């Protein structure tokens, strides 16, 4: 490099969104991804044959050594913010990234010893280069449960490596989710991707709830099925409605999003989100619960401000942000009329990802949060925000 020349800024991820039923958009997207020689491609989209076909076509078109991972969603975060029925692709160029993925099988039966062995072998064989950032991405089946055990297994096997993730969704149907791992489409499993990069990487996390003084004790629960049967020795749905100031007939996903239950761990409160009620009057949860837990009613704060503050606190403007955002946050934003404002923030800070059935962050499975990785130029390079390597719709 000649004297006085600026160092080259490493290439950031390429994000695209497309109609999974439009062959022209798919072809264009695959051509653009192929042009950057990706080390990793992530695919997120509405569950169904369109996503499955896109995954198979991508696997055929992408380089053989490119890792492919993805999942079905409860909504997508595309180039313009929140979208539905699109497919989002995030391609990580081999110029700046290296990646390998594994499947953690049989989530329902918790083969933890097998998971630990596979994760340790992945780390050993990966052989990260000194001075480069290492991070992990976890995509889990949002209906199989046990994300808390998955995250704990990863933390035990690969200590010190930051890991974030999202639980695959199925809109608001909660019927069937899918995971993508290279040429395999599956359920009841998780996909873990270990990634190395020359860029700087920072975690971004934001929750918009604070605890109130209203508390309840879980006096009966079915931990295996994530059910609260009783709160304060009363039928769970009735007691929750009373504490929240609602009628039992008004308990809908939108109201659950507005009035979450929170669990304290250490000095922090984490949402234990409610998915729905059962015919017997129980509460179906989206995170682990157990008899004896003390839960606190949450109070909503600003739905957008904390996100902007978290991004602006980064050491440098991001080239791109990979984001996992709970579907219940999206419902709360819709009710508050703030979906457009949040979408504008996502677009401004180049956030792409999907709406989840739960998020993995800091060794925990949580709900009603936004978690993500921000990718920035290395610290020794210019802090000026460069143009992304190829945003825009595929078409």
pLDDT tens column, 276-315: 999 999 999 888 888 999 999 987 777 887 888 889 999 9
Return the pLDDT at 308: 87
- pLDDT tens digits for range 214-270: 999 999 999 888 899 999 999 999 999 999 999 998 898 888 888 889 888 777 777
Taking the C-alpha atoms of residue 250 and residue 272, their distance in angstroms, rounded to an integer, is 19
In a domain, 262, yes or no: yes
In a domain, 157, yes or no: yes
Residues 39 and 187 in one domain: yes
Last residue of a domain, one of 257, 273, 300: 300
Is residue 281 within 8 A of residue 238, CB to CB? The reply is: yes
Taking the C-alpha atoms of residue 367 and residue 374, their distance in angstroms, rounded to an integer, is 20
Return the pLDDT at 394: 45
In total, how many domains does the chain have?
2
In a domain, 75, yes or no: yes
Last residue of a domain, one of 283, 300, 317: 300
- The upper half-sphere exposure of residue 362, i.e. CA atoms within 13 Å in the direction of its Cβ, equals 14
Q: Is the pLDDT of residue 202 over 80?
A: yes
Q: What's the token pair of residue 164? A: 């974030």
Q: Is the pLDDT of residue 131 over 80?
A: yes
In a domain, 1, yes or no: no
pTM: 0.83
Q: Is the pLDDT of residue 337 over 90?
A: yes
Residues 227 and 201 in one domain: no
Residues 287 and 188 in one domain: no
Residues 323 and 308 in one domain: yes
Return the pLDDT at 381: 62
In this predicted structure, which of 14-18, 32-36, 304-308, 358-362 has the lowest mean pLDDT? 304-308
Return the pLDDT at 10: 67
Classify the phi-psi angles of 113: left when phi > 0, otherwise alpha if psi is within -120 to 50, otherwise beta: alpha
In this predicted structure, which of 84-98, 135-149, 300-314, 337-351 has the lowest mean pLDDT? 300-314
Taking the C-alpha atoms of residue 158 and residue 207, their distance in angstroms, rounded to an integer, is 26
Average pLDDT over residues 130-159: 93
Q: Is the pLDDT of residue 383 over 60?
A: no
Taking the C-alpha atoms of residue 335 and residue 7, their distance in angstroms, rounded to an integer, is 47
Burial of 363 (0-12, 13-18, 19+ CB in 10 A): middle
- pLDDT tens digits for range 55-85: 999 999 999 999 999 999 999 999 999 999 9
Chain center to CA of 361: 9
Last residue of a domain, one of 243, 275, 300: 300
Residues 163 and 192 in one domain: yes
In a domain, 391, yes or no: no
Q: Is the pLDDT of residue 2 over 70?
A: no
Is residue 285 within 8 A of residue 231, CB to CB? The reply is: no
Residue range(s) defining the domain that contains residue 69: 14-206+304-376
Return the pLDDT at 135: 97
Q: Is the pLDDT of residue 371 over 80?
A: yes
Residues 157 and 269 in one domain: no
Angle between helices 147-157 and 112-126 (to 10 degrees): 40
Band of residue 137 on the pLDDT scale cut at 50, 70, 90: very high
Return the pLDDT at 4: 36
Residues 296 and 321 in one domain: no
Residues 158 and 251 in one domain: no
- pLDDT tens digits for range 163-201: 999 999 999 898 999 999 999 999 999 999 999 999 999
More confident: 138 or 250: 138
Residues 326 and 359 in one domain: yes
The DSSP H or E segment spanning 326 is strand 320-326
Alpha helix locations (H) across the chain?
23-35, 49-61, 112-126, 147-157, 236-244, 253-258, 305-312, 327-336, 339-348
Is residue 258 within 8 A of residue 319, CB to CB? The reply is: no
Residues 55 and 152 in one domain: yes
Taking the C-alpha atoms of residue 223 and residue 90, their distance in angstroms, rounded to an integer, is 35
In a domain, 4, yes or no: no
In a domain, 59, yes or no: yes
Average pLDDT over residues 94-119: 95
Residues 311 and 354 in one domain: yes
Band of residue 29 on the pLDDT scale cut at 50, 70, 90: very high
Beta-carbon contacts of residue 49 (< 8 Å; ≥ 6 apart): none
Alpha helix locations (H) across 36-160?
49-61, 112-126, 147-157
In a domain, 72, yes or no: yes
In this predicted structure, which of 118-127, 206-215, 369-378 has the lowest mean pLDDT? 206-215
Residues 187 and 311 in one domain: yes
Sheet holding 369-376, edge to edge: 81-83, 76-78, 351-356, 320-326, 369-376, 200-207
DSSP 128-197: PPTTSEEEEEEEEETTT--HHHHHHHHHHHSTT--EEEEEE-BTBT-S---EEETTEEESS-EEEEEEEE
Is residue 90 within 8 A of residue 42, CB to CB? The reply is: yes
Query: Which CATH number does the domain housing residue 233 bear?
Result: 2.40.30
């Amino acid at each position: 490099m000649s004297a006085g020349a600026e160092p080259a800024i490493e290439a950031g991820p390429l994000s695209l969104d497309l109609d999974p039923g439009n062959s022209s958009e798919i072809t264009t997207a695959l051509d653009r991804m192929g042009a950057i020689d990706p080390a990793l491609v992530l695919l997120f989209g509405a569950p169904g044959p369109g996503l499955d076909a896109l995954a198979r076509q991508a696997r055929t078109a992408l380089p053989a050594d490119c890792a492919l991972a993805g999942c079905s969603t409860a909504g997508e975060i595309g180039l313009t913010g929140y979208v539905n029925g699109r497919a989002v692709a995030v391609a990580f160029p081999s110029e700046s990234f290296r990646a390998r993925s594994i499947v953690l099988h049989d989530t329902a039966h918790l083969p933890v010893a097998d998971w630990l062995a596979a994760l340790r072998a992945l780390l050993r064989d990966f052989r990260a280069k000194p001075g480069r950032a290492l991070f992990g991405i976890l995509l889990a089946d949002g209906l199989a449960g046990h994300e808390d055990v998955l995250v704990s297994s990863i933390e035990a096997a690969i200590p010190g490596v930051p890991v974030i993730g999202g639980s695959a969704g199925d809109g608001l149907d909660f019927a069937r989710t899918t995971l993508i791992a290279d040429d395999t489409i599956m359920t009841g499993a998780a996909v873990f991707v270990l990634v190395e990069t020359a860029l700087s990487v920072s975690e971004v996390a934001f929750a918009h709830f604070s605890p109130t003084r209203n508390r309840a004790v879980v006096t009966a629960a079915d931990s295996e099925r994530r059910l609260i049967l009783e709160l304060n020795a009363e039928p769970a749905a009735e007691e929750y409605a009373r504490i929240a100031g609602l009628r039992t007939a008004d308990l809908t996903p939108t109201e659950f999003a507005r009035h979450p239950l929170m669990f304290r761990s250490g000095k922090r409160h984490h949402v234990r989100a409610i998915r729905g009620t059962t015919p017997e009057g129980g509460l179906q949860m989206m995170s682990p619960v157990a008899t004896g837990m003390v839960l606190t009613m949450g109070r909503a704060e600003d739905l957008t401000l904390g996100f902007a503050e978290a991004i602006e606190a980064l050491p440098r403007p991001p080239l791109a942000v990979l984001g996992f955002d709970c579907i219940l946050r999206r419902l709360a934003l819709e009710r508050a009329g703030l979906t457009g404002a949040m979408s504008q923030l996502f677009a401004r800070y180049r956030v792409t990802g999907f709406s989840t059935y739960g998020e993995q962050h800091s060794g925990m499975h949580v709900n009603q949060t936004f978690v993500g990785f921000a990718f920035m130029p290395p610290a020794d390079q210019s802090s000026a925000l460069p143009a992304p390597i190829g945003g825009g719709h595929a078409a």
